[in-house]
Amino acid sequence: MISAPCRLGILATLVPGQPVSFTEMKAATSLSDGNLHVQTRKLADVGYIEINKVMKGRRSVTEFRLTELGLERLRLHVMKLQAVLDAEADVTRPARAGQPDDSAVWA
């Protein structure tokens, strides 16, 4: 569920804990209205986010908030990704012929 880049982006945007409006989420993720609606609905259906309609003046605004379950699952996903990276770091790879060694780029 979380590995889709668009859903991962939505969850990452919500990590600070403050509610994020539909407009703010759209700007943060660069998703179209329809895709943002579909992806947030999928996350809400599994309990990872809450979707609320709030009144701001005379207008109804859709806001998203990360749930405890969503934060827990995001942390688990990140831990699994880190484990993959850690395992990869343990493997020594030979440099490919014709490819420069860029391992000192950040030095």
The sign of the torsion formed by the CA atoms of 58, 67, 85, 7 equals negative
pLDDT band at residue 107, thresholds of 50, 70 and 90? very low
Helix, strand or coil, per DSSP, at residue 67: coil
At the topology level, CATH places domain 5-89 in Arc Repressor Mutant, subunit A (1.10.10)
pLDDT-above-90 percentage for the chain = 72
Residue 104: pLDDT over 70: no
Residue 41: pLDDT over 70: yes
DSSP assignments along 48-62, one per residue: SEEEEEEEETTEEEE
Query: pLDDT at position 29, please?
Result: 95
Residue 46: pLDDT over 50: yes
Q: CA 99, 101, 105, 107: dihedral to nearest 10 degrees?
A: 180
The sign of the torsion formed by the CA atoms of 62, 68, 72, 75 equals positive
